[in-house]
Amino acid sequence: MADQNSQHTSFADQVRAIPGGEHIEDCYACGTCVSTCMIQQKKEPRFNPRRLLRMVMMDMRQEAFESPTTWLCSACDLCYSACPQEIHISSVIGAVKELAVEAGYESPLETVSVDEELCSGCGVCAMACPYEAPRLVEKGTNGNTKRISEVNANACMGCGICVGACPMGAIARPGVSNQDVRAQISLPETNGNPRMAVFVCDWALRVDADVALLESYPENVNIIHIPCTGRIDPEMALQALDTGFDGVLVCGCAVDECHFQRGSFVSSFKIKLLNQVLDQVEMDFGRIRFIKIGTQDRGRIRSEVDDMLEHLAAWKETS
């Protein structure tokens, strides 16, 4: 019989001890989680939740801590809703990440940073973040203490929801700062066709065919890639109209499938508010539109873009 007084705790026991990490042994390696996960298909081919669970069971501590699976999961829980063993995989990954941070490992992701001069300490970023990465701290600069936001780099997933939320423009990360997004906007030459800006989130179009389809539109459709629609600032949409675009289409994940949990919900709400404001000043002509693409909506992007273009053409004729 095994020595019951053994002091050695296995990696699996450590993971199990963290809330959410309990059911790792239920995995029978069917691969459903991998097939639903967007990260493996879009960002990192080595990303594989099933294998991380296996590493935990086999006591492969170091490999697990170094695995991209530990760090890239954004807890969208597409895998959880499909898992036949009802394992809350993102919690297990979270538990492994917690142990990895304890062991001194650091997130390889490029995370946001706060401009301490600009930050007013309002705390909107802390409320907006799905991962509780920013929090308010008292910090001394030049002899004055000031309440500012500080970002936990190991918790931040780099979605940019806080960037879109910050009223001061104090948070940014390379690739999602206001300038970087604006750099993608370029007003095409018009040949009579309506000009449209399409803000598309990196995760909304699951299949490569749909991404290629969107890219294949002629010049008058300007595609702007953002990590999450939560990054959108209503001002950005208005600016696009101001520069000369006839319409703006924001394309995000279905609300319950958002890659960053609540980005799609937040931005759909923002656009709705914007439309209401435009309606009050009698300027709402359906020129700004938010669409939600679910994981099973293969090919829907074509009909949505065509529909919007038609709408804009009709609007141009009447105005």
Partner 1 sequence: MVDASRHPKVDVRTYTEVERVEGFVGNFKAQLREKARFVFEDRCNGCGDCAEVCPIEVPNYFELNIAPRKAIDVAMSQSVPLVYNIDMDSCIECYQCVEACGELDAIDFSMDDKLVWEDIGAIVIATGFNHFDPSAMSEYGYGRFPNVITAMEMERLNNSAGPTGGNLIRPSDGKNPESIAIINCVGSRDKRFNPSCSNFCCMYAIKNAVLLKQAYPDMDLSVYYIDIRTPSKGYEEFYDRARKLGIRFIQGRPGLITEDPETQNVYVHSEDRDLGRVTEREYDMVMLNQAAIPQPDADTISSVLNITQSPGGWFMEYHPKLRPLDTPTDGIFLAGACQGPKDIPSSVAQGAGAAARAGRVVHSEEWEIEPTVAVVWEDRCISAEGKKCGVCVRACPYGSILYEEGEAPEIVTAKCHGCGGCVAECPHNAITQLHFTDAQILAQIQTLLADKPEEKILAFRCHWCSYGGADLAGVSHFEYSANERGLRVMCSARMDADFIYEAFRLGAGAVLFSGCHPQDCHYITGQRVGAQRAKRMLKQFDRVGMTSGRFRIEWISAAEGDKYARVVNEMQDVLDSIPEEELREEIEKLKPYMEKRARRMREVPQIEEAASFVEKIALVHGTQDPAST
Question: Using CB under 8 A as the criterion, which residues of the chain lie in contact with partner 1 when the complex forms?
Answer: 28-37, 40-41, 45, 48, 50, 78-79, 81-82, 84-86, 206-207, 295-300, 303
Q: Are 285 and 244 in contact (CB under 8 A)?
A: no
Specify the residue, 86 or 138, whose C-beta has the smaller distance to partner 1: 86
Minimum distance from CB of 209 to partner 1 (Å)? 8
Q: How far is the CB of 194 from partner 1 (least distance, A)?
A: 24
* Contact status, residue 148 vs residue 166, Cβ threshold 8 Å: no
CB 164 to partner 1: min, Å: 29
Q: Which is nearer to partner 1, 34 or 166 (CB)?
A: 34
Locate all alpha helices (DSSP H) within 7-106, ordered by sequence: 11-17, 32-36, 38-42, 49-57, 61-66, 68-72, 78-82, 89-102
Cα–Cα distance, 174 to 152 (Å, whole number): 17
CA gap 14, 215 in Å, rounded: 47
The smaller minimum CB distance to partner 1, of residues 209 and 314, is found at: 209
- Report CA-CA distances (Å) from 68 to 51, 58, 74: 11, 18, 12
In the complex, minimum distance from the CB of residue 91 to partner 1, in angstroms, rounded to a whole number = 16
Task: Choose among 276, 265, 274: nearest CA to 239.
Answer: 274
Q: Is the CB of 233 or the CB of 297 nearer to partner 1?
A: 297
For the CB of residue 36, give the shortest distance to partner 1 in the complex, in Å. 4
- Choice between 30 and 283, CB closer to partner 1: 30
* Cβ nearer to partner 1, comparing 17 with 29: 29
Q: Could you give phi then psi for residue 298, rounded to 5 degrees?
A: -60, 130
Could you tell me the smallest distance in angstroms from the CB atom of residue 306 to partner 1? 12
Nearest to 186 by CA among 178, 175, 197: 197
